[in-house]
Amino acid sequence: MRIFLVLFFFFAGRVCSCQSLFDQKVKELQAHPLMKGAGTGIVVVDISNDSVVYAFHPDQLMVPASTLKLVSSAAALEILGPAYRFKTHLAYSGQIHRQTHFLDGDLLIIGGGDPALGSAYFPDFYRNPPFLDQWVQSLILKGIRGINGNLCIDESAYEEQRVPPGWVWEDIGNYYGAGAGALAVHDNMFRITLQSGDEAGEPVSIIYVDPWAEELKFENYATSSEKNSDQAYVYGSPWGDLLKIRGTIPVNRDRFPIKASLPEPGIVLAKMLKSKLERIHIPVSGNVKRRTAGEKTVPIHEVVSPPLSAIVKVLNHESVNLFAEHLVKQLAWEKNGLGTTREGVRIIRDFWSQKGLDTTTLFMEDGSGLSRSNALSPRHLTEILLYMKNESPHSELFTGSLPEPGEGTLIFFDPARFPNQSLRCKSGSMTRVRCFAGYLVTVTGEELAFSIMLNNFSMKQSELIEKVEDLLVTLRKKGIRQP
Query: Nearest CA to 449 among 420, 424, 471, 478?
Result: 424
Q: What share of the chain in percent tops pLDDT 70?
A: 95
Those residues whose C-beta lies under 8 Å from the C-beta of residue 141, and which sit 6 or more positions away, are none
Helices (H), 59-129: 68-80
One DSSP character per residue, 183-226 reads ---GGGEEEEEEE--SSTT-B-EEEEEES--TT-EEEE--EEES
In contact, 436 and 427? CB cutoff 8 Å: yes
- Residue 479 clears pLDDT 80, i.e. is over it: no
In contact, 190 and 210? CB cutoff 8 Å: yes
- For the segment 356-380, what is each residue's pLDDT rounded down to a tens digit? 999 999 999 999 999 999 999 999 9
Sign of CA dihedral 464, 469, 471, 472: positive
pLDDT, mean of residues 248-252: 96
What is the pLDDT confidence band of residue 147, given thresholds at 50, 70 and 90? very high
What is the pLDDT confidence band of residue 3, given thresholds at 50, 70 and 90? very low
According to the model, what pLDDT value does residue 57 have? 96
According to the model, what pLDDT value does residue 61 have? 97
- For the segment 11-53, what is each residue's pLDDT rounded down to a tens digit? 333 344 445 788 999 999 999 999 999 999 999 999 999 999 9
Those residues whose C-beta lies under 8 Å from the C-beta of residue 401, and which sit 6 or more positions away, are 73, 309, 312, 313, 315, 316, 317
Beta strands in 78-198 (DSSP E): 87-92, 95-96, 102-104, 107-110, 146-147, 151-154, 189-195
195 CB-contact burial (10 Å; exposed 0-12 / middle 13-18 / buried 19+):
middle
Q: What is the mean pLDDT of the chain?
A: 92
User: Cα(269)–Cα(108) distance, rounded to whole angstroms?
Assistant: 11
pLDDT, mean of residues 137-149: 96
Peptide bond into 483 cis (omega under 30): no
Residue type, 441: V
User: Cα(293)–Cα(108) distance, rounded to whole angstroms?
Assistant: 7
In contact, 104 and 94? CB cutoff 8 Å: yes
Query: Nearest CA to 188 among 200, 198, 173?
Result: 173
According to the model, what pLDDT value does residue 425 have? 97
- Residue 1 clears pLDDT 80, i.e. is over it: no
User: Cα(319)–Cα(135) distance, rounded to whole angstroms?
Assistant: 30
All domains of the chain in start order, with CATH? 21-82+309-478 (3.40.710.10), 87-159+264-306 (3.50.80.20), 169-261 (no CATH)
- Residue 4 clears pLDDT 70, i.e. is over it: no
- For the segment 281-296, what is each residue's pLDDT rounded down to a tens digit? 999 999 999 999 988 8
Q: How many CA atoms lie within 13 A of 292 on its CB side?
A: 7
Q: Is 390 helix (H, G, I), strand (E, B) or coil?
A: helix
What is the pLDDT confidence band of residue 339, given thresholds at 50, 70 and 90? very high
According to the model, what pLDDT value does residue 2 have? 38
Query: Nearest CA to 263 among 152, 320, 183?
Result: 183
Sign of CA dihedral 441, 442, 445, 446: negative
pLDDT, mean of residues 230-253: 91
According to the model, what pLDDT value does residue 369 have? 98
According to the model, what pLDDT value does residue 127 have? 85
Q: Is 92 helix (H, G, I), strand (E, B) or coil?
A: strand
- Cα 180 to chain centroid distance, Å, stands at 11
- Lowest model confidence (mean pLDDT) among 62-71, 234-243, 300-309: 234-243
pLDDT, mean of residues 228-255: 91
User: Cα(341)–Cα(164) distance, rounded to whole angstroms?
Assistant: 7
According to the model, what pLDDT value does residue 8 have? 35
pLDDT, mean of residues 341-356: 98
> Which run of H or E residues covers position 52?
strand 51-56
Of how many residues is the chain composed? Answer: 483
Residue 304, number of CB atoms within 10 A of its CB = 12
- Residue 416 clears pLDDT 60, i.e. is over it: yes
According to the model, what pLDDT value does residue 19 have? 55
